[in-house]
């Protein structure tokens, strides 16, 4: 049965996309797609899978949708609804790749909030149920249903075209990945699924746009980051910083796939933020330990990142790398650039990095205070536990 | 990010929604009262439709509070709230918002913020980033 489920789940976004392209009504297209999937789940086990399962589903879904539109039109004939005859060419020859990209772009429409973009992407392209998405984000199903239906309303009538660049889509996929990656232990299994789903969707986009360097870069970044999952927490859920991770636990197959992607894309594509982030992750992945890491190269890469996308988080990471390459005082000097930056006020990571550099420099009293301040400001339980334990070691 | 929005109210006229029975509200001219009540209703609809509303609870009269404390290994139960004060916790909302600014701006729009008090506090996450 799982074979059918996987097949249907894989086909669902193509069917939905073909219908949205033709009928421009997201909500109705989704209902019709669901009905077609149900029909397939009852017919295929008995009659066998058709030669072109995608075309079969699109044909059935189109019929359901036109039936529905006709009955709606009949019931409000006096209103000036768009007549069915005005719709685009036949949907039953799927333009698979373009359709999926258009659907993704629509789900990540700039008019939507990040929370809605994420929910709609997981629902429409990922094929997850509303209940599954709600569980992953730890909210009631009703809340998630509202988010999805609000999103659908907002993109009603939006243009359905292949996006000029995939930046918005990649950003949403990265948010989904991070949501899953940061929760890797205990009762958070549903959220871990999100990391896997984000990787699956990014793989899909990469297969459709193999020469897009940023897509490859994001996929590599996800793989290289996810490879560290087994080492980043202990059995009790406490966080292990990168420097202290047991690197023998890193997933070697994810590392080698990520490394191969980075190498290929850096020599073939125009450089971009995700590729540089992936390159930094690659330098870490290639080092046997924190001490043996090529920190000078990481400093250089953060410099590139700062020129592509200057922001305080990059400066923060640069300060850590400079601290490792040229000593803690040099790192603290970089951190000085952020003092007075309104975007960093109340940011616990700024204090955590300062604490770390002060500890390296031997200023233990100040380091202790900074760890405590960072612990006070974070809203994450495992981060707070980690920062308190660092402070306690110095107290 | 999830936030707890705590609504405080005057314990003398305990009836939900609390602000409708606050002396400050009752002192307003009728058309202003109507407007405040309408805005409160609109806020409720807005946070539900936006998918930010996660949970909401209205608490019973503080007089029904049982205060439980351990004394020499023996739990001692007394009636009434732990702290007698002009304002008591009347209920709370859990919201899932994009930013602390958004959570604060929603909190400021509860009428109780005007007549009594509303507090916003971040809810801690069980997930974390490696340092």
Q: What is the pLDDT of residues A162-195, one digit of tens each?
A: 777 899 999 999 999 998 888 755 555 667 789 9
User: What does the alpha-carbon distance between residue A375 and residue A361 come to, in Å, rounded to a whole number?
Assistant: 20
User: How many residue pairs bridge chain A and chain B with CB atoms within 8 Å of each other?
Assistant: 87
Residue pLDDT, tens place only, A114-154: 999 999 999 999 888 899 999 989 899 999 999 999 998 88
Among residues B112, B102, B130, the alpha carbon closest in space to that of B2 is found at: B102
* Chain B residues in contact with A183 (beta carbon < 8 A): 126-127
Q: Which residue numbers of A have CB closer than 8 Å to B's CBs?
A: 113-116, 119, 137-140, 143-148, 150, 179, 182-184, 186-188, 191, 228, 232, 237, 239-242, 245, 349, 352, 356, 378-384, 386-387
User: Taking the CB of residue A388, how many other CB atoms lie within 10 A of it?
Assistant: 17
Please tell me the distance in Å from A4's CA to the nearest CA on chain B: 33
Domain-located, residue B131: no
Task: Find the helix or strand (DSSP H, E) in which B45 lies.
Answer: helix B30-49
Q: Which residues pair with B125 in a beta bridge?
A: A380
Q: pLDDT band for B83, please (50, 70, 90 cuts).
A: confident
Residue pLDDT, tens place only, B32-55: 999 999 999 999 999 999 999 999
Which residue has tokens 């949205």? A20
Q: Is the pLDDT of residue B65 over 50?
A: yes
Interface test with B, best of A135, A139, A140, A349 (most B CBs within 10 A): A139
Q: pLDDT band for A81, please (50, 70, 90 cuts).
A: very low
Nearest Cα residue in chain B from A149 = B49
* Chain B residues in contact with A147 (beta carbon < 8 A): 50-51
User: What does the alpha-carbon distance between residue B24 and residue B86 come to, in Å, rounded to a whole number?
Assistant: 14
Q: Which domain holds residue B44?
A: 2-122
Is A147's CB within 8 Å of B98's CB?
no
User: What does the alpha-carbon distance between residue A391 and residue A37 come to, in Å, rounded to a whole number?
Assistant: 55
Q: What angle do CA A357, A362, A367 make, to 5 degrees?
A: 55
* Chain A residues in contact with B53 (beta carbon < 8 A): 143, 146
CB-based contact (8 Å) between B74 and chain A? no
Is A386's CB within 8 Å of B131's CB?
yes
Token digits of residue A231: 């080492």
Token digits of residue A311: 């922001």
Is A241's CB within 8 Å of B122's CB?
no
| Residue-by-residue DSSP string for B83-109 | S--SSEEEEEEEEE-S-HHHHHHHHHT
Residue pLDDT, tens place only, A237-280: 889 999 999 999 999 999 999 999 999 998 988 899 999 999 99
Domain-located, residue B128: no
Is A182's CB within 8 Å of B127's CB?
yes
Domain-located, residue B48: yes
User: What does the alpha-carbon distance between residue B128 and residue A373 come to, in Å, rounded to a whole number?
Assistant: 17
CATH number at residue B52: 3.30.70.1060
Which whole-number Å values give the CA distances from A23 to A84, A110, A163, A286, B16, in the listed order?
8, 22, 19, 50, 47
Q: Which residues pair with B96 in a beta bridge?
A: B2
Token digits of residue A49: 């899978």
Is B50's CB within 8 Å of A150's CB?
yes
Task: Give the model's pLDDT for residue A71.
Answer: 82
Average pLDDT over residues A281-296: 96
Is A383's CB within 8 Å of B129's CB?
yes
Nearest Cα residue in chain B from A151 = B50
Instruction: For residue A244, give every residue at least 6 positions away whose Cβ sits within 8 Å of its Cβ, in sequence order, or none.
Output: A290
Is B130's CB within 8 Å of A241's CB?
yes
* Chain B residues in contact with A383 (beta carbon < 8 A): 128-129, 131
Biggest CA–CA distance in chain B, Å, is 57
Task: Give the model's pLDDT for residue A7.
Answer: 84
SS3 B22: coil
Is B54's CB within 8 Å of A186's CB?
no
CB-based contact (8 Å) between B123 and chain A? yes
Is A182's CB within 8 Å of B128's CB?
yes
Q: What is the CATH number of domain A306-395?
A: 1.25.40
The model carries a pTM of: 0.88
Domain-located, residue B23: yes
Token digits of residue A384: 């707070």
> Which DSSP category does B111 fall into?
T
State the SS3 of chain A: CHHHHHHHHHHHHHHHHHHHHHHCCHHHHHHHHHHHHHHHHHHHHHHCCCCCHHHHHHHHHHHHHHHHHHHHHHHCCCCCCCCHHHCCCCCCCCCHHHHHHHHHHHHCCCCCCHHHHHHHHHHHCCCCCHHHHHHHCCCCHHHHHHHHHHHHHHCCCCCCCCCCCCHHHHHHHHHHHHHHHCCCCHHHHHHHHHHHHHHHHHHHHHHHCCCCHHHHHHHHHHHHHHCCHHHHECCCCCECCHHHCCHHHCCHHHHHHHHHHHHHHHHHCCCCHHHHHHHHHHHHHHCCCCCCCCHHHHHHHHHHHHHHCCCHHHHHHHHHHHHHHHCHHHHHHHHHCCCCCHHHCCCHHHHHHHHHHHHHHCCHHHHHHHHHHHHHHCCEHHHHHHHHHHHHHHC
Please give the tally of structural domains in chain B.
1
Phi, psi of A380 (to 5 degrees): -110, 130
Is A150's CB within 8 Å of B48's CB?
no
* Chain A residues in contact with B54 (beta carbon < 8 A): 139-140, 143
Nearest Cα residue in chain B from A354 = B131
Token digits of residue A322: 């400079």
Q: For chain A, which residues make up each domain, given as ranges?
A: 1-94, 96-209, 215-293, 306-395
Which residue has tokens 């400093």? A299
Percentage of chain A lying above the pLDDT 90 cut: 65
* Chain B residues in contact with A382 (beta carbon < 8 A): 126-128
Instruction: For residue A194, give every residue at least 6 positions away whose Cβ sits within 8 Å of its Cβ, in sequence order, or none.
Output: A122, A136, A176, A177, A179, A180
Residue pLDDT, tens place only, B87-127: 899 999 999 999 999 999 999 999 999 999 999 999 999 88
Q: Is the pLDDT of residue B1 over 60?
A: yes
Token digits of residue A223: 């793989």
Is A182's CB within 8 Å of B129's CB?
yes
SS3 B62: helix
Sign of CA dihedral A274, A277, A283, A286: negative
């Amino acid at each position: 049965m799982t074979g059918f489920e996987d097949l249907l789940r894989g086909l669902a976004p193509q069917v939905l996309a073909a219908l949205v392209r033709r009928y421009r009504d997201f909500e109705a297209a989704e209902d019709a797609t669901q009905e077609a999937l149900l029909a397939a789940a009852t017919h295929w086990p008995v009659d066998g899978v058709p030669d072109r399962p995608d075309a079969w589903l699109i044909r059935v879904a189109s019929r359901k949708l036109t039936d529905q539109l006709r009955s709606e039109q009949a019931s409000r004939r006096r209103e000036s609804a768009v007549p069915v005859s005005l719709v685009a060419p036949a949907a039953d020859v799927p333009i698979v790749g373009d359709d999926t990209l258009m659907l993704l772009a629509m789900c990540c429409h700039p008019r939507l909030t990040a929370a809605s973009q994420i929910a709609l992407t997981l629902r429409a392209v990922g094929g997850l149920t509303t209940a599954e998405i709600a569980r992953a984000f730890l909210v009631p199903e009703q809340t998630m249903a509202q988010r999805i239906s609000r999103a659908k309303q907002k993109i009603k009538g939006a243009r359905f075209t292949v996006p000029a660049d995939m930046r918005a889509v990649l950003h949403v996929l990265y948010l989904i990945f991070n949501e899953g990656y940061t929760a890797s232990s205990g009762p958070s299994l549903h959220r871990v699924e999100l990391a896997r789903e984000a990787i699956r969707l990014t793989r899909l986009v990469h297969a459709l746009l193999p020469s897009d360097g940023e897509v490859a870069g994001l996929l590599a970044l996800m793989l290289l980051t996810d490879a560290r999952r087994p080492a980043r927490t202990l059995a009790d859920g406490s966080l292990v910083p990168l420097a202290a991770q047991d690197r023998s636990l890193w997933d070697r197959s994810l590392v080698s796939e990520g490394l191969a992607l980075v190498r290929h894309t850096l020599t073939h594509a125009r450089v971009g933020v995700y590729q540089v982030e992936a390159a930094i992750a690659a330098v870490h992945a290639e080092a046997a330990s924190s001490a043996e890491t090529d920190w000078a190269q990481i400093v250089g890469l953060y410099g590139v990142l700062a020129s592509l996308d200057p922001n305080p988080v990059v400066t923060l990471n640069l300060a850590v790398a400079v601290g490792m390459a040229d000593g803690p005082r040099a790192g603290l000097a970089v951190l000085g650039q952020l003092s007075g930056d309104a975007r960093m006020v109340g940011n616990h990571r700024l204090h955590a990095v300062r604490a770390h550099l002060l500890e390296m420099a031997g200023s233990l009293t100040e380091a202790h205070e900074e760890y405590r301040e960072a612990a006070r400001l974070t809203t994450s339980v495992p981060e707070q536990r980690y920062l308190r334990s660092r402070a306690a070691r110095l107290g | 990010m999830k936030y707890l929005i705590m609504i405080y109210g005057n314990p003398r006229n305990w009836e939900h929604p609390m602000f409708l029975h606050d002396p400050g509200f009752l002192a307003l001219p009728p058309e202003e009262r109507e407007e405040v009540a309408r805005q409160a209703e609109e806020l409720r609809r807005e946070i539900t439709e936006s998918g930010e509303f996660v949970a909401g609870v209205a608490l019973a009269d503080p007089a029904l509070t049982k205060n439980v404390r351990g004394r020499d290994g023996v739990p001692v139960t007394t009636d009434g709230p732990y702290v007698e004060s002009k304002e008591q916790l009347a209920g709370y909302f859990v919201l899932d918002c994009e930013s602390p600014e958004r959570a604060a701006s929603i909190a400021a729009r509860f009428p109780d913020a005007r007549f009594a008090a509303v507090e916003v506090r971040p809810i801690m996450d069980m997930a974390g980033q490696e340092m």
